[in-house]
Structure 1
Amino acid sequence: MSRICMHGYVSGRVQGVSFRQHTQSQAERLDLDGWVRNLADGRVEVLFEGEEDAVRELATWLEQGPDAAKVAGVELETQPLQGIAGFIVRG
């Protein structure tokens, strides 16, 4: 399997619903590396990399998010691998 990296934005009701923490939990479960953070405009920004199947699984999960979220859209693009270790929630 090959490793890939994706970066993008999730919009909708995605702040104040533990979206970042749930994303981190999902990423760690899938053994992905990267980060997630809130943006001032109400979106969540995310970058994650790992085995292609796991990356695609997290990308699919982002379309729903945690139960309290209401995802309106997900925009993701493939990026060059970043070489990040671990998955963190950024401020």
Structure 2
Amino acid sequence: MVVRRKVVVRGEVQGVGFRWACAREAQALGVHGWVRNRPDGALEAVVEGDPEAVERLVAWVRRGPSHAHVTAAEVTAEDPEGLPDFRIAD
């Protein structure tokens, strides 16, 4: 079974290495998707994979790396697309 979650994270989440740390976590957990900075200052991630691994990454995103300060995280369930890997998007 594969699930997909979209997470929009707000707070001090840009310029702190969040995207690179998220990509490392995703690769370690074996999930696929992407992460990007949004023009509004938020960070957006889409994660697909095993339900337990996806939930572990979502929990990590709610905290972020050590220099981030997450104030809110909106999680939405979506239909999986079968993404082939995890990448940092533009």
Does residue 1:32 correspond to 2:7, yes or no?
no
**Alignment correspondent of 1:73:** 72
Aligned mates of 1:8, 1:60 — CA distance in 2? 10
Provide the alpha-carbon RMSD of the alignment. 0.6
Provide runs of 4+ in structure 1 moved above 6 Å: none
Q: Secondary structure at the match of 1:24?
A: helix
> Which residue does 1:50 correspond to in 2?
49
SS of 1:63 mapped into structure 2? helix
Q: Secondary structure at the match of 1:20?
A: helix
Q: What is the aligned-residue identity percentage?
A: 34
Tell me how far apart the structure 2 counterparts of residues 88 and 29 of structure 1 sit (CA, whole Å).
13
Q: TM-score, normalized by length of structure 2?
A: 0.97
In 1, Cα distance between the equivalents of 2:46 and 2:62? 15
User: How many residue pairs end up in the alignment?
Assistant: 90
After TM superposition, the score normalised by the length of structure 1 is: 0.96
CA distance in 1 between partners of 2:9 and 2:81 (Å): 20
